[in-house]
Amino acid sequence: MSRKRTVVLISGRGSNMTALIAAASDPTYPAEIVGVISDRANAAGLGIAQSRGVATKVIQRADHPSKDAYDAAIDAALTGFGADIVALAGYMRILGRGLVEKWQGRMINIHPALLPAFKGLDTHARAIRAGVRIHGCSVHFVTPEMDDGPIIAQAAVPVMVGDNEDTLAARVLKAEHRLYPLALGLVAEGKARMEKGHTVLAHFADDADNASSVVMAPDPLREERDLEQLARITP
Ligand SMILES: Nc1nc2c(c(=O)[nH]1)N[C@@H](CN(C=O)c1ccc(C(=O)N[C@@H](CCC(=O)O)C(=O)O)cc1)CN2
Ligand SMILES: NCC(=O)N[C@@H]1O[C@H](COP(=O)([O-])[O-])[C@@H](O)[C@H]1O
C-alpha cells in the first residue's frame, strides 16, 4: 500500500512535527511527511523541517484579507502538496468550518490533555490547579468545534508531587512524541477512521494489541518510580 502523503501544520518549535518526521524516516511507516506549513515565519520548526529535506510553506493570517481567504490559502497549499492527511502539531489557530469539513476524517490534532478534559489552552496549569493525579495527551480527528473531535488515541501521564506547569508539560511532551506517530500510523493504515462523528478502530488481533495501540501506558520504568513516590505520599 502506498504511504499516505501527510502535511504537518505548526506554529512554533515543531517538536511533534520532528517526531512525525523521525517516524516517517522508516520506509515501512505508512505515512510520509511531504510538507510543513506554518502560520508564523519565525517558527523554529521550519528550520528543522528544511534540515530534514521536507518542503515548507509559511501562510500568515495577516497576509490575507479575511479568515476565509486565509483558510482558502491553507487548502490550496494542502492540495498543492497532494496531502492525504493533515496533522496539526502545535498549530495555534482555529481553522474555519469550511476547511475542516472538507478535510474531516483526514485531519488530526494532538492536544496536551486527556480530552474531553481541559480543551483549549494552558492545559498543564489548569490540570495542576484542578488537582488531577492523571494528566496526558490526546490525538483526535479535527472538527469545527475546538478540541471536540472524536478521539483516536490517548496517553496517560502521572502528575508528580511538586510538579509545576513546566515539569508537567515536559513529561506530557515526551508522551506526545510517542503517541502522535502511533496515532498517525493508525489513521494512515486505515485502522482508525472517522464515521458518523465517531472514531472507528479496526479490530485488532487481540485485546492486548487493541489496548496497547490506543491507550499508551506511561514508560514502565518511570511508572514504577512514580508509583513508589505516590505510595510514599498516600497515607
Ligand atoms: N476548527 C478547529 N481548529 C483547531 C482545532 C480544532 O479542534 N478544531 N484544534 C486546535 C488546536 N488547539 C488545541 O489543541 C488550539 C489552538 C489554538 C487555540 C486558540 O485559542 N488560538 C488563538 C485564537 C484562535 C485563532 O485566532 O484562530 C489564541 O491563541 O488565542 C485553541 C486551541 C487547532 N485548530
Ligand atoms: N492547542 C494546541 C497545543 O496546545 N498544542 C501543544 O503545543 C505544544 C508544542 O508543540 P510542538 O513542540 O509540537 O510545537 C505541544 O504540547 C502540543 O500538544
Q: What is the model's pTM?
A: 0.90
What does the block give as the cell for 174?
515526551
pLDDT the model gives residue 227: 55
- Least Cα distance to 48 among 77, 24, 17 occurs for 17
Has 140 been annotated as catalytic?
no
Q: Could you read off the pLDDT of 120-179 as tens digits, one per residue?
A: 999 999 999 999 999 999 999 999 999 999 999 999 999 999 999 999 999 999 999 999
Given the residues 64, 111, 124, 177, the one annotated as active site: 111
Question: Atom 26 of ligand 1 has which residue's CA nearest to it?
Answer: 93
Q: Could you read off the pLDDT of 212-223 as tens digits, one per residue?
A: 445 665 555 555
Local structure of 187: helix, strand or coil: helix
Q: What value of ipTM does the predicted structure carry?
A: 0.93
Q: Could you read off the pLDDT of 44-59 as tens digits, one per residue?
A: 999 999 999 999 999 9
What does the block give as the cell for 222?
518511570
Within 10 Å of residue 47's Cβ, how many Cβ atoms?
A: 12
Q: How far is the CA of 230 from the centre of ligand 2 (A)?
A: 27
Question: Atom 6 of ligand 1 has which residue's CA nearest to it?
Answer: 146
Cβ contact 45:12 at 8 Å: yes
Nearest atom in ligand 1 to the alpha carbon of residue 143 is: 8
Nearest atom in ligand 2 to the alpha carbon of residue 11 is: 14
The ligand with the least distance to the CA atom of 44 is 2
Find out whether the beta carbon of 150 lies less than 6 Å from any atom of ligand 1: no
pLDDT the model gives residue 56: 98
Per-residue confidence band for 232, with pLDDT thresholds at 50, 70 and 90: low
Complete domains list, the chain, with CATH:
4-232 (3.40.50.170)
Cβ contact 153:179 at 8 Å: yes
Q: Could you read off the pLDDT of 94-129 as tens digits, one per residue?
A: 999 999 999 999 999 999 999 999 999 999 999 999
